[in-house]
Amino acid sequence: MKRRPSSSRLSKLLRAADEVRKNAHAPYSKFKVGAAVQAGGRIFAAPNVENSSYPLSICAERNAVGMAVAAGHDRIQAIAVMGPGRKSTAPCGGCRQVIWELSDPDTTVPVVYAADDGPVVTTTIGDLLPSPFGPGNLRSAARARPRRRRSGAV
C-alpha cells in the first residue's frame, strides 16, 4: 500500500512552496508563485519564472515537477502551490495535465493550494482534472485503423 502524505506533510509542502516563491522571477506580472512536490519521500520546491515573451514563462508547478524528474523520480505523491493575494492559487490547466501525468493512475494524489490571504484548499488531481488526456489515448489511436482517402476527392 502506498503512503499518502499526512495533513502535517501537506502543511510542510505548503510552507516550502511559500518559502521558495520569494525566488520567483515575475518582473512583468508581479504574481510570484511557489510550488513544492513530494516525490520519493523528498520535497522539490521551485518558483515560477516569467519571460518577456510570455509563452516562454514556466509555472512553479512544472518547475517543481521537473526538479523531481531530474532527480530520478517518475511519480509524485503530493503537490502544494502558494501564490499572492486573496484568491487561492490553483494550478493552471497545463500544470494539471503535467501533475496528472506523473501521478498514480488512481488520481488521488493530493493537491493543496493557497494564497497569502486566501483559504487553504485541499483536493486531488483527479478532482482538478476529471477527464485527462493520457497514454491510453495514444495507445488507442495507435491501434485505430487509418482511414483510406478516396482518390479524386477534394
Positions annotated as catalytic residues are 61
Three-state secondary structure string covering the chain:
CCCCCCHHHHHHHHHHHHHHHHHCECCCCCCCCEEEEEECCEEEEEECECCCCHHHCECHHHHHHHHHHHCCCCCCCEEEEEECCCCCCCCCHHHHHHHHHCCCCCCCCEEEEEECCCCCEEEEHHHHCCCCCCHHHHHHHHHCCCCCCCCCCC
Pick from 115, 95, 113: which is nearest to 103 by CA?
95
